[in-house]
Structure 1
Amino acid sequence: MAFVTMHLLNHALLLVSIPAAEAVRPWFLLIWRNPLGSVVLYGAVVVHLLLVLLALYRRRSLVMPAREALQVFFGLAIPLLLAEHVIGTRVMHTLTGVEDDYKYVLRALWIDNPVVGFWQAVAVVVVWGHGCLGLYFWLRYRPWYPRAAPWLLVAAVLVPVLALLGFADGGRAVAETDYVASAVDPAIIEQGVRVKGWLLPAVRGSFAAMLAAVFALRALRMRRERRNLVEIRYSDGHVVRVAKGHSVLEASRMGGIPHYAVCGGKGRCSTCRIKISEGLDDMPPAGPIERATLARIGADPDVRLACQLHPTSDLSVTPLLIPDRRRALTLATQPATPGREREIAILFCDIRSFTELSDHRLPFDIVFLLNRYFAMVGKAVEQAGGRMDKFIGDGAMALFGVDTTNVEACRQALVAAAVILDDLQRLNDELAGEINAPLRVAIGIHAGPAIVGAMGYREVMHVTAIGDTVNVASRLELVAKELDASVVVSEQAVRLSGLDLSAFDIREVDIRGRAQPLQVRVVPQGSTIAIAGQSQLVSAA
C-alpha cells in the first residue's frame, strides 16, 4: 500500500507537468528499485498472494459479506490486470535497459494502445479499492478510527482521482507534442515485444493455474469430508450432518437453525454456548480462548462454545440461548452496532433524598422538577463531550470516550461533574420558592474497559455500555451518598485525566464484588471542582 500510494501521488504530479512528475520520479525509484526495496515489495506481493490462496482453501464456505467478497474479487483481479504493466515497465527496463519514463509509458498507454491504457486505469481503481478495504477491515475497531475515518475517506477518494486525472492530462500533453520514442532502439522495442509475447501469457496462465488448483483442492477436500460426516442432533429435533472440521455454529447456520453469536464466532462472548447431552467424552478439549470464556462465566463441564467446538464424532446438543424464530428477521434488520470493548469513563448522577423531596407534591410538579434537573445534567454532559446513556428514576448515566481516547474521556467526565455542581447552585436559586430544601446530587465516576454497543429492541435500541467499569461507577455514586459527598471519583480516572484534585481527600473504599479496595477522591458537599480552563474545555467539546 505504501508503494501504491507513492506511485499514484507521483502520477498526480502530471497535473502540474510531465517535467514535475519526472523530477520526483528518481526519488520514488531510489526507494523501490534498489535490491532491498525490490525484495520488500515483491516479497510482500508474493506473501500476500499466497495468503489469499491459502485463505480461499481454508474457507469452509465461499458465502461472505459483500465488502469482503469485493475485496477478495479485487485481490484476485490484480495479478491479471497488472501483469502487462509490470512487464512493460520494470521487466522491460531490466532486460533491455529501456528508460520507462513518463513520456515512454504515456505514449504506450495513451497513443499506441489506448485499450491497454483503459485497463490500467481500471487497475488503479481495483488496486486502490482492494488496499483501502484491507486497511478498513484492519483498522475499523481501533479506538482512534472514528475520528480519523473522515480524513481517510477524503484521501481514499482524492488519491486515485488525482492519479487518473494526471494520467489523462499527461497523455494529452504527449499527444500534443507529437512525442516519438526516437531514443529507443527499434531492435530493443522488438525484443521487448517478443519477451512480452510469451511472458505475459505465462504469468497470467500460472496465476490461473494456481487459482484452479486451489478450487480443485477444495473440491477434493469436500469430497473426502463427505465420506466422514458427523451428526449433530439438536434438542428441538433437528439433525445436521457436516464434515469433520466444521464448528457446531457453522453446522447450525448450514442447517438454517437460529443460533446466537454476538461476537461473530470468535469466542469473545458466550452467547453461542451449548449444553452437550451425548458425546462429550469424545470431543476435542477446549482451546485457550474457549477455556477463558467458559471460566469467566463459570460454565458447567458439559457446556461448550458452539463457535469453538469442532466435533470429531456424533453428539447431541442444546443451545442455551435460543433465538425466537419469529423475531429473527426483525432482529437482523435493526441498525445495531456490534458490541466491542473500549476504554471509557462512566458518570452516574443521582438526586439525594429524592423520595422525601417528592412527598406531598403533585405528579406533574415532580415531572417538571425532574425535567429541569435532567436538562441540566444532559446539557453539562453533552457540552463536555459525553453522551447521555439513560435516565432511571431520578438518576442518570453518561458515557465518555465512545469516540475519543480514555485520557480525554476522564477529563470530560470531570469537567461535566464540575459543570453539574455549578449549574445545580443556579437551579436551586431558581427553584428556591418551589422546594423546601436545595437539591443535592451524588456523582460517581470511574474509568476502564467496558463493552459498548447498541442494545435494546426496535425503537428502544441505543448505544450503551456494560461491564465491571459500569458497575464500579454505579457503586461509587452510592459511596458518595454514604459519605455525604458531592462526587466520588476513582483515583484511576483522576490519574488518566491529568487534572490536579490533590485538594480533596483520598480514601480507600470497599466495592462489592472486588477483592481489593479502590482508591478514590472525595469531593464533599458544598465544594466545587475547580478545573483550569473549564469554560474553554466545555466550549471546545
Structure 2
Amino acid sequence: MAAGVLENLISQRRLRRARLLSGLIIFTFLTMHMMNHMFGLISVEMADYARRWFLPLWRNPAGTVLLYGAFLTHITLVLGSLYMRRSMAMPWTEAAQIILGLLVPILLIDHIVSTRLASTLFYLRDNYEIVVHSLWTKAPFNGAKQALALLVIWLHGCLGIHFWLRYRPWYTAIWPGVLTVAILMPTLSLLGFMQMGRTMSTPVYLMSGFPGGYYDPSALPAQASQQLHEIRLALHGTFATLVIFVFAARGVRWLRERAHLITIRFPEGQAISVPRGYTVLEASRMASRPHYAVCGGKGRCSTCRVQIIEGSENLSPPDSQEERTLSRIKAGPGVRLACQLRPNGPVTLTPLLVAKSEVDEAPDSYEAIPGREREIAVLFCDIRNFTTLTETRLPFDIVFLLNRYFSVVGHAVEQAGGRMDKFIGDGAMALFGLSGNAELACRQALDASRRIIAGIEALNEQLANELPDPLRIAMGIHTGPAVVGTLGYGNARTLTAIGDTVNVASRLETVAKDLDTKLVLSEPVARLAGLDLSSVPSQDIAIRGRTESLKVFVFEKGVRKALEGLVIDPSAS
C-alpha cells in the first residue's frame, strides 16, 4: 500500500506538472527581467528606476526560495526525465528543447554568480550601471554570452509553452499575436541593453561613484574575485558531473537490461527486441519504425494506440492517465496506448493508426493536426436545379458562373467569421466556431446565410440578361460536436470536420431542396443563437442513422427579416 501511495505521489503526470510549474515560474521572472531591459531604450536611469519595482518581488526571502527553488527543481526534473527515457530517439523539436535546456545552466551560472551572489556576499551594487559597464565595456565577450543566454532561455521557454498549449482551440486563435510577442520581447530587451552600453561607453557619461576615474565601482577586491571564481568553477563542475552521471547511469542500466530482453512483434513479421521497461513507442523509435504520437508520448492523445493480439498476460494494467484517455475514446478490449505500455514479456500487437514513412509521404505534405472534438456550427449551401440551369451553356460559362457563386458564398462566410471548408460541384460547406463558443458559432452561421441570400439576389440582378432563370439556393445549418482535424494527402490536405453534426447539416440542405425553400436550420441552432422563431414554420424530420426525429425551422420566405434581430458581437454571449 505504501508503495502504491509513493508511486501515485511521484507519478509521471505529477512530475510533468511540477516541471511545467517550475518552468512557468522561471519564464515569468525572465519576462519581467526582459521588460526591465526594455526601459534601457529610454535611459540607464529609467531602467534602474524600473528595477526598484522589479527586484522586491524576487529578492525577498519568499521570492528567492520560489525562484531558485523552481530553478533547481526544473533542472533536477529535466535530468531525471533524461535518465528515465529508455531511448534517445525523438523528434527534432523535442531534441532541440532538451539541448537548449541543458545549455541554460552553463550560460546562466556566470551571470548569477556575478550579480546575485556578488551582491549578497560582498555587497556589490548590481544595478544597471555596474552590470552593463562590466558586460559592455570591461568584458564584451561575457556580454555576448549573456545575450546568447537570454535568447536560449527564452527560446527554451517558448518551445515548452508552445508544446503545452499547441492543441488547445483558443491558442490556435491567438497564435499570431503570441508569435509577435515572442519575437518582440527578446529583440526589444537586447536593444535596450545595447542602448545602455552605447550610452555608457561615450566619454561624456560619468558613472555614479566613479568621479575622476580613481576607482571602478564594478571591481571587487582580489580575494572576493577569487572566491567568486571558485564558486563559479564549483557550480559548473557540479552541473557537468550531474549530466555525466545521468548518461553514465543510463549506460549502466542499458548493460544490465541487455540480459532481460523482451520481443515486441508486429503482424507483418517485424520483431523488435528491447530491454524490459521500454514502452512500445520507444521500441518503435529505436527500430526507426514509423509510429504516430502527436502529443509526444505523454498519454494526452490516442494516436499511438495499439491492439494487443497475443501476450496480454505480460502487460500491467493501465495507469490513471492511460485509463482516462482510453475511456475518452471508448476503446475496445485489448486497446492500449503505446507510449504508456511497458510489456513485461513477449507481446504481439498492431498499431491502429498506421503511420507512413517519410519516403511514402508527398514532398510537400506536412504532419496532420490531430483531431479535436469541438462544438461547431456547419452550413451547407447548394444551387437548386443547377444541372438544368447549365445543360445548354458552354463549359467556360459554367466555370464563370460557379466562380461568381463561390465568391459570394466565400465572401459571406469570411465576413461572418467562419471558415470555408470545401466546394463540391455546385455545393459548399462552411464551418463556424473553430475558435469560439457554440452560441457565437450559430449566430455567425446564420449571419453568413443572411449574407449569402443577399449576395445571390445581387448576383441575379447583375446576370439577369445572362440567366434564363435566377439562381436559387438551398441551405442547411446544424450545430453540435464534431471532430476537427487535418485530413487528406500531400497538397490536398486541409482542415475539415467530420461526424454526425456534419452529416445532419448536409441532410438539412437536402431537406431545403426537397421543400423548395432557401433555409432549413435545426432547433439547437435557433436556441443557441437566441432567436425567437415562433412565427416560422417548424416540423420534425427523420434523420437517417438517428432513432429520434429532429425539430427544424423551415424558412419559406422572409429569411433576412427573420434574422434582423441577430446579434453577432461575441461579448453578447
Q: Distance in 1 between matches of 2:533 and 2:421?
A: 26
Indicate the residue corresponding to 1:192 in structure 2.
224
Q: How does 1:320-331 map to 2 (within 5 A)?
A: 328-331=359-362
Q: Distance in 1 between matches of 2:146 and 2:434?
A: 42
Residue number among 65, 86, 110 corresponding to 2:136 in the alignment:
110
Distance 1:529 1:267, change over 3 A: farther
Distance 1:308 1:472, change over 3 A: farther
Residue number among 460, 482, 486 corresponding to 1:454 in the alignment:
486
Q: How does 1:58-457 map to 2 (within 5 A)?
A: 58-175=84-201, 176=203, 177=205, 179=207, 181=210, 189-259=221-291, 272-287=304-319, 301-319=333-351, 328-331=359-362, 334-341=365-372, 342-352=374-384, 357=388, 364=395, 370=402, 372-402=404-434, 406-428=438-460, 439-457=471-489
Is 2:55 aligned against 1:29? yes
Indicate the residue corresponding to 1:14 in structure 2.
40
Shift of 1:241: 0.5
Residue ranges of structure 1 left out of the alignment (5+ in a row): none
Indicate the residue corresponding to 1:55 in structure 2.
81
Contact 2:87 2:282 in 1 (8 A): no
Shift of 1:273: 5.0
Q: Distance in 2 between matches of 1:192 and 1:391?
A: 74
Shift of 1:242: 1.2
Alignment deviations for residues 21-73 of structure 1 (CA, whole Å, 9 cap, x no partner): 22222111222212222222222212222221122122222233333323222
Shift of 1:193: 1.5
Q: Distance in 2 between matches of 1:114 and 1:222?
A: 44
SS of residue matched to 1:144: helix
Distance 1:475 1:293, change over 3 A: farther
Indicate the residue corresponding to 1:465 in structure 2.
497
Distance 1:349 1:308, change over 3 A: farther
Stretch deviating more after TM superposition (491-500 or 30-39): 491-500
Stretch deviating more after TM superposition (257-266 or 119-128): 257-266
Give the counterpart letter for 1:138 in structure 2. W
Contact 2:364 2:491 in 1 (8 A): no
Q: Distance in 2 between matches of 1:191 and 1:203?
A: 19
Shift of 1:293: 6.5
Give the counterpart letter for 2:277 in structure 1. G
SS of residue matched to 2:559: coil
Shift of 1:262: 6.2
Indicate the residue corresponding to 2:559 in structure 1.
527
Contact 1:336 1:453 in 2 (8 A): no
Q: Distance in 1 between matches of 2:501 and 2:361?
A: 31
Alignment deviations for residues 168-188 of structure 1 (CA, whole Å, 9 cap, x no partner): 332343343353657999996
Give the counterpart letter for 1:334 in structure 2. S
SS of residue matched to 2:560: coil
Q: Distance in 2 between matches of 1:490 and 1:205?
A: 68
Contact 2:443 2:567 in 1 (8 A): no
Residue ranges of structure 2 left out of the alignment (5+ in a row): 1-26
Distance 1:70 1:238, change over 3 A: closer
Distance 1:56 1:305, change over 3 A: closer
Identity of aligned residues (%): 49
Alignment deviations for residues 237-275 of structure 1 (CA, whole Å, 9 cap, x no partner): 222111223233433333234445566656677665544
Contact 2:476 2:520 in 1 (8 A): yes
Distance 1:162 1:438, change over 3 A: closer
Distance 1:117 1:56, change over 3 A: same
Shift of 1:196: 0.5
SS of residue matched to 2:366: coil
Contact 2:486 2:494 in 1 (8 A): yes
Q: Distance in 1 between matches of 2:141 and 2:399?
A: 72
Distance 1:448 1:92, change over 3 A: farther
SS of residue matched to 1:64: coil
Contact 1:263 1:339 in 2 (8 A): no
SS of residue matched to 2:361: helix
Distance 1:308 1:68, change over 3 A: closer
Q: How does 1:455-534 map to 2 (within 5 A)?
A: 455-481=487-513, 485-494=517-526, 496-497=528-529, 504=536, 511-513=543-545, 520-528=552-560, 531=563
Shift of 1:19: 1.7
Contact 1:418 1:530 in 2 (8 A): no
Q: Distance in 2 between matches of 1:401 and 1:458?
A: 26
Q: Distance in 2 between matches of 1:210 and 1:514?
A: 61
Q: Number of matched residues?
A: 535
Distance 1:322 1:359, change over 3 A: same
Alignment deviations for residues 350-407 of structure 1 (CA, whole Å, 9 cap, x no partner): 344657x469756847666655544432332233333322233443211224456655
Distance 1:245 1:440, change over 3 A: farther
Q: Distance in 2 between matches of 1:79 and 1:94?
A: 20
Alignment deviations for residues 273-293 of structure 1 (CA, whole Å, 9 cap, x no partner): 544443233323345665676
Contact 2:363 2:490 in 1 (8 A): no
SS of residue matched to 1:442: strand
Shift of 1:417: 0.6
Contact 2:35 2:189 in 1 (8 A): yes
Q: Distance in 2 between matches of 1:319 and 1:531?
A: 49
Q: Distance in 2 between matches of 1:185 and 1:425?
A: 79
TM-score, reference length from structure 1: 0.84
Alignment deviations for residues 127-174 of structure 1 (CA, whole Å, 9 cap, x no partner): 222222222223333333344333333332333233323323323433
Q: Distance in 2 between matches of 1:323 and 1:133?
A: 25
TM-score, reference length from structure 2: 0.80
Distance 1:358 1:208, change over 3 A: same
SS of residue matched to 1:528: helix
Stretch deviating more after TM superposition (441-450 or 72-81): 441-450
